[in-house]
Amino acid sequence: MVEASLAITITLNGEPYALDGDASVAALVEKLKMRPTRIAVEVNREVIPKAKYAETILHPGDSVEIINFVGGG
């Protein structure tokens, strides 16, 4: 079986973002060089637990939010 290598476009933090190859949340987080312990990921308004990053596959048009903590009061 051939791995799907077609690029897909998702919306990442409000902007279009192209993904190719592995479209899992785990791959996206790794590609962005983010430490999973410091972030939270939401796909189509649903929070994805860290344990499910590998099995959660993104599809064209998915809306992904990745957040972290910043200074605030």
Partner 1 sequence: MRSAPPAQSKVNMQDTQLQLGGRAFSSRLIVGTGKYKDFAETRAALDASGAEIVTVAVRRVNITDRTKENLLDFLDPKRHVVLPNTAGCFTAEEAIRTCRLAREAGGGDMVKLEVIGDPKTLFPDVAATIEGAKVLVKEGFKVLPYITDDPVACLRLAEIGCIAVMPLAAPIGSGLGIRNPHNIAIIVEQAKVPVIVDAGVGTASDAAEAMELGCDGVLMNTAIAGAKDPIAMARAMRLGIEAGRLAFLAGRIERRLYANASSPMTGLIG
Choosing from 2, 14, 16, 18, the residue that interacts with partner 1 (CB under 8 A) is 14
> Rule CB under 8 A: is residue 16 a binding residue for partner 1?
no
As a dihedral over the C-alpha atoms of residue 50, residue 54, residue 59, residue 60, rounded to 10 degrees, the angle is: 90
C-alpha closest to that of 48 among 62, 32, 31, 33: 62
- Least separation in angstroms between CB 70 and partner 1: 5
- Look up residue 45 and give its two tokens: 């308004």
Query: What x/- string results for residues 30 through 49 when contact with partner 1 is judged by CB under 8 A?
Result: --xxx--xxxxxx--x-xxx
C-alpha closest to that of 4 among 25, 26, 20, 24: 20
Summarize as ranges the residues that interact with partner 1 (CB under 8 A): 12-15, 17, 32-34, 37-42, 45, 47-50, 65-73
